[in-house]
Structure 1
């Protein structure tokens, strides 16, 4: 059996200082192991790490594109109210995120917006009326 858990999400950083600064501007807390060479941010569910592109290429034996490209996945920040989608989107706008889709009511009954960080990693801001979170704030169902 393979454990059914995601515990760490690592983003290949083309410019670690710039990408790290963006997440710091979100107000996210870093772990004590963060440094100028590797940054790790705490979230309610998983740790999000920023690791230099070259190191990921060496570790994985996979050649990544020479410049950031939009990823084939999205990472979601699920919020507690529809208004938080809008206020989070405004914060992203203020700190220089790339705004992809303004807050809108979704056909499934929630509210969403999309942005990209400085290296084109796509993020969704979402409110889902059926989401359930544990005591730490980690999503356990929707």
Structure 2
């Protein structure tokens, strides 16, 4: 879980999201993956299942790659890959240690 300023999170998703409490509520669910291709694959699967794509997968300001969709209940999901992500054999994500 991460806490991030409401306005900055809305800006990260799309400049078109109104920064009000009547729609986007400042909460996203994140799914971190091990490759850029996996980001695209999951976003496309969500779209096929009826999700609304909010932000197409693209490079991010923080050096990663991510996209956002809204599920059928209106919750926003970020699917993200980052060069600092590392996954164990069990699929657990951790941040790479600096060399």
TM-score category by the smaller chain? 0.5 to 0.7
Q: Conserved in 2, the CA contact under 8 Å of 1:71 and 1:122? A: no
Query: Cα offset for 1:90?
Result: 0.8
* Shift of residue 105, structure 1, vs aligned partner: 0.8
| TM-score, normalised relative to structure 1 | 0.48
Task: Give the length in aligned residue pairs.
Answer: 76
The ranges of structure 1 where at least 4 consecutive aligned residues each deviate by more than 4 angstroms after the TM superposition are: none
Larger gyration radius, structure 1 or structure 2: 1
User: Are the counterparts in 2 of residues 71 and 120 from structure 1 also a CA contact under 8 Å?
Assistant: no
Unaligned runs of 5+ in 2: 2-21
Q: TM-score, normalised by structure 2?
A: 0.66
Cα root mean square deviation, aligned: 2.0
| 1:1-142 pair list within 5 angstroms | 69-141=23-95
Where does structure 1 lack aligned partners over 5 or more consecutive residues?
A: 1-5, 7-67
Q: CA deviation at 1:69?
A: 4.5
